[in-house]
């Protein structure tokens, strides 16, 4: 089974990159199943029904969320009608789920969405929820498990890797929008601290730089906006899974000036 994951899709520029590149990527790289993080897809905050249908129409099979999952009112109803997740460690009273299982080429794969703690809304312990959920999935006979860990700090993401390596197929981080250079496979688990955003690349985390710079210089906050014009990037991780283990992986960066950069994950002995 070959799966792929796209990090935080930020606004219209991110959606345009999927429209322009994803169908060909899926075909060229023979990808069977695509996961994407939606939490910034609609003008940088949350997801509307229109944009959900748009992204799923480009070939995304399931979308994961994060701390901005609730920013658009459309999302609550979509948990019942669309393949959309929210962090699984929200309290059980919260609408939706953060874990679903899918059949791909005769095999099962579970997609688990977790959210970290530093700088995030109050939730259940991500590490305990992740550990317990993966144990339940294994008891159900599900070997292929993909985790989107939406967290601010790399130490939490690395901690999740230490906790679950060898027990899940992949753990890839989202939220910071800044791609990291530590894509590896250890004990059959693919790991990347942060895949990085898909959207504008020539600003501050996909947003117009004026408000962030004002905040850095003066401490005065403002509303972040998506630039009307920008240079764009699409970042996608491709992983081969076999019997619950990742056997090979690489990351692709597609630029809107037609450059493509491929980076192979390193294999830990």
For the annotated catalytic residues, the residue numbers are 68
Measuring CA to CA, how many Å separate 204 from each of 36, 197, 200, 241? 21, 11, 9, 34
Pair 71, 96: CB distance under 8 Å: no
C-alpha to C-alpha distance for 160 and 115, rounded to whole angstroms: 11
Q: Determine which helix (DSSP H) or strand (DSSP E) holds 137, and give its type and residue range.
A: helix 126-139
Tokens standing for residue 139:
């008891």
Q: What are the DSSP calls for 74-98, one per residue?
A: THHHHHHHSSB---TTS-TTSSS-S
By CB atoms closer than 10 A (0-12, 13-18, 19+), residue 259 is exposed
Rounded Cα–Cα distance for residues 269 and 266 (Å)? 10
Q: Buried b / exposed e across 33-51, counting CB within 10 Å, b at 16+?
A: bbbbbbbbbbbbbbbbbeb
Beta strands of 140-223 (E only): which ranges?
A: 144-150, 170-174, 184-186, 189-192, 199-200
Residue closest to 103 by CA, chosen among 203, 32, 11: 32
256 CB burial (10 A radius; 0-12, 13-18, 19+):
middle
């Amino acid at each position: 089974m070959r799966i792929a994951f796209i990090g935080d899709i930020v606004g219209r520029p991110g959606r345009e990159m999927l429209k322009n590149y994803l169908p060909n990527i899926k075909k060229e790289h023979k990808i069977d199943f695509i996961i994407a993080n939606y939490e910034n897809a609609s003008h940088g905050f949350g997801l509307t029904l229109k944009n959900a249908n748009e992204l799923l129409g480009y070939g995304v099979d399931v979308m994961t969320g994060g701390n901005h999952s609730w920013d658009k009112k459309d999302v609550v109803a979509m948990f019942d009608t669309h393949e959309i997740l929210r962090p699984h460690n929200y309290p059980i009273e919260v609408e939706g789920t953060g874990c679903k299982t899918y059949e791909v080429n005769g095999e099962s794969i579970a997609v688990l969405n977790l959210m970290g703690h530093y700088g995030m809304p109050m939730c259940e312990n991500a590490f305990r929820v992740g550990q317990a959920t993966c144990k339940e999935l294994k008891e159900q006979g599900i070997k292929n498990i993909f985790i989107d860990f939406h967290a601010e700090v790399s130490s939490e993401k690395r901690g999740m890797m230490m906790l679950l390596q060898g027990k899940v197929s992949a753990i890839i981080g989202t939220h910071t929008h800044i791609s990291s250079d530590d894509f590896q496979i250890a004990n059959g688990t693919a790991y990347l601290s942060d895949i990085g955003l898909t959207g504008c690349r020539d600003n501050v985390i996909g947003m117009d730089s004026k408000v962030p710079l004002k905040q850095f210089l003066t401490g005065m906050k403002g509303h972040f906006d998506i630039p009307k014009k920008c240079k764009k990037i699409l970042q996608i991780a491709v992983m081969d899974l076999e019997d619950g283990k990742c056997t090979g992986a690489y990351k692709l960066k597609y630029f809107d000036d037609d450059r493509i950069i491929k980076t192979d994950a390193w294999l830990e002995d």
